[in-house]
Structure 1
Amino acid sequence: MNRLLPLAATAVILASVAACGTTKVDTPAAGAPSAPASQTCANDTTKTATGPVSITDGVGRRVELAKPAQRVAVLEWQQTEDLLTLCLTPVAVADPKGYGTYVKAETLPASVVDAGQRGEPDLDAIYAQNPDLIVVEAFKADDEIITKLEKRGVPVLATVGADAGGQIANMKKVFSMIGKATGRTERADIVLEQFDEHLAAAKQKVAAATVTAKDFLFFDGWIEGGNVVIRPYGKGALFTELGEQLGLTAAWTDSINATYGSGGVDPAYGLAQTDIEGLTAVGSATLFYSDDATPDSYVTELRKSPIWTALPSVKDGRAYAFPAGVWGAGGPLSNEQAIDAYVTILTKG
């Protein structure tokens, strides 16, 4: 199973179907990125609202709460990270072990209840925690998971986890929505303001470095049937958009294609799929990729490939691994981690 693939991306795809020269980035210096909520929330002084909440969620449903939600169960990792950044620990989370492996922006307390898998939540475990809100990821109002959850009478907030038409804007929208639902709008506004400042400062650093090799591709991957599967982040992908914000030019030029699997990138996450040889399509573009510290890491096999070692960017020393745990579909702090990784690479003397 490809554990890196977000649940909603899997749903979109199924519904639409269908070494040498490598540098590892050091962890950003202390003080550069924002600290995780476990540290920052201890000194948080923002006010939490107390009155009724009326909100239109990501799929157009009206969600009414008598008061801001405090006992929240979450079925996706971006939204789990968001809650922690908003200084609220969820009562139950889908696949907390996977979250701990792939998302390092925010630490999930060990006490949080395991709510099953992202694709197959344990409803009994969720409702045993007496939640006053369940946050899910969906792309339509009649999504099966919404229908199942609403039968129990607990409000469900559906968030759209990705939008290839504007990933940064969508990330902010989801974060603000969860902030409003939990009465933490003031905190949400401050975090997003800090994100904007972080990105602006990063742009200045990269501009000052006068980067010349601007064509780039970010990718991740997995092992399937003994083979390495490569997932290029195409036009519209979150990490592609971040790179473009920093002045880079996307080298993976496939267009958005609703029949993902037969070519193109999917309309939600902006992701494509290929093999190692497919990386030759971007020529001499600089390569960035997600490191994977798990025992079945695709990176180990990737670096053994003669096709990989023959790529121009690898031979020239322009293939760079992001630190493990920089989640490619996360909230503001995951995005700041990605920005820091790009800046560290692009401005290294």
Structure 2
Amino acid sequence: MHRRHRLLLGRRAHGLWDAEVQLVTVPVNYLAKHALSRRSFSAAIVAFMTMPRRSRAEAFGRRIAVLDWAWAETLLALDIEPYAVTEASLYRERVVSPRLPDGVIDLGLRSWPNMELLKSLRPELILTQAGYGAAASSLDPIAPTLALPLFTPERRPLKLAEAGLRTIAERLAREPQADAFTAAFDRGLAEIRDSLRSYDGRPLLIVKFADDRLLDIYGPGSLFQDVLDRLGLASAWTEAGNHWGFSTSGLDAIARNPDARLVIIEPGPPETLLGSDLWKAIPAVRENRVVTIEPTWVFGAMPSALRFATILGKALQSA
């Protein structure tokens, strides 16, 4: 059992400490690890006291570092907050939901994380995607590592995302949470599919603009394609594309699919293109068969798949 410091702290009000005090118990090893000076020690204690109760517990509990956003969102789906995540601030912009708490430590680039920082955090577990970023062999000396596959030659990312959820849940004794999330996921997709019974059945061309002339088109092997299959929706794009299931092409790719409904993932085409004769001549544009949806993370796992299905379902109901 660790020795513990017992500290009497007053509650500050209007710049003064009032008479009410609290007895705070802080593990010595926590303080030693952070090598705090007297001044920073006091600041840390105040910060600790203002943390939500759950965060206080986790400060001395699981320290899970996640080097891939798909597994970060999966961890959150299991009701576990990661201790550190690569490109944490960018996660909040691109993945959006499930929300990443503000206090999560940023580990640098997903493709090249800050290994010194990672080592200094002394994580008890590292989650990463097999075949992307730092190799598991370089992570194992730091902490036990789960390198889980997602985008593979099998080209079934949603199936592997479901397997990854189960693997993480079993490792962290979160099987009930995994069961609950999987049930909610299946129920959500079923409800969205039912809501689209009146959809006209047009195949979808799902694109994201790289610039004013190039766009990424999602097809077989992408997470989005797997979601379309679950929803019973047809894709107009049948080319295999790259490792992640999308092809980069010009505007002519849209024109080659005149019967498709165009689904644009924000941000949409630039204003210079929107006002051009070239854009207005595209059949889907000319016939008002274009819907725009909020950003969703194509390289994600089950939470991103559900977010995409929900946003797409709402867009198509009004199409």
Q: TM-score, normalised by structure 1?
A: 0.68
Alignment partner, residue 230 of structure 1: 215
How many residues align structurally?
Answer: 260
1:154 aligns with 2:143: yes
Question: Shift of residue 302 of structure 1?
Answer: 5.1
Q: Which one-letter code corresponds to 1:171 in the other structure?
A: A
Alignment partner, residue 224 of structure 2: 239
Question: Shift of residue 168 of structure 1?
Answer: 2.2
1:178 aligns with 2:168: yes
Question: Shift of residue 213 of structure 1?
Answer: 4.2
Q: Distance in 2 between matches of 1:144 and 1:158?
A: 10
Alignment partner, residue 254 of structure 2: 279
Q: Which one-letter code corresponds to 1:106 in the other structure?
A: P
**Aligned-residue RMSD, C-alpha:** 2.4
Question: Shift of residue 288 of structure 1?
Answer: 0.9
1:154 counterpart SS class: coil
Alignment partner, residue 208 of structure 2: 220
Greater fraction helix: 2
Which consecutive unaligned segments of at least 5 residues does structure 1 have?
A: 1-41, 44-68, 257-264
Q: Which one-letter code corresponds to 1:346 in the other structure?
A: L
**Preserved CA contact (<8 Å) 2:292 2:315:** no
Aligned equivalent of 1:336, options 283, 306, 309:
306
Structure 1 301/238 Cα, relative in aligned 2: closer, same or farther at 3 Å?
A: farther
**Preserved CA contact (<8 Å) 2:128 2:145:** yes
Q: Distance in 2 between matches of 1:93 and 1:299?
A: 32
**Preserved CA contact (<8 Å) 1:162 1:171:** no
Listed as ranges, the matches of 1:1-349 within 5 Å are 70-139=62-131, 145-150=135-140, 152-163=141-152, 165-207=155-197, 209=198, 211-223=199-211, 228-254=213-239, 256=240, 265-266=241-242, 268-292=243-267, 303-324=274-295, 326-348=296-318
Percent of aligned pairs sharing the same letter: 24
Write the deviation string for residues 36-55 of structure 1: whole angstroms up to 9, x where unpaired. xxxxxx99xxxxxxxxxxxx
Q: Distance in 2 between matches of 1:321 and 1:172?
A: 28
2:196 counterpart SS class: helix
Write the deviation string for residues 220-279 of structure 1: whole angstroms up to 9, x where unpaired. 2324xxx5431110123211222233232211122x3xxxxxxxx12x421111122332
Q: TM-score, normalised by structure 2?
A: 0.74
Higher relative CO (Cα under 8 Å, sequence separation at least 6) belongs to 1
**Preserved CA contact (<8 Å) 1:214 1:247:** no
**Preserved CA contact (<8 Å) 2:157 2:301:** no
Write the deviation string for residues 119-167 of structure 1: whole angstroms up to 9, x where unpaired. 1100111122210111111239xx85222222x3411110112245323
Q: Distance in 1 between matches of 2:117 and 2:305?
A: 31
Which consecutive unaligned segments of at least 5 residues does structure 2 have?
A: 1-52, 55-60
**Preserved CA contact (<8 Å) 2:86 2:113:** yes
Structure 1 213/316 Cα, relative in aligned 2: closer, same or farther at 3 Å?
A: farther
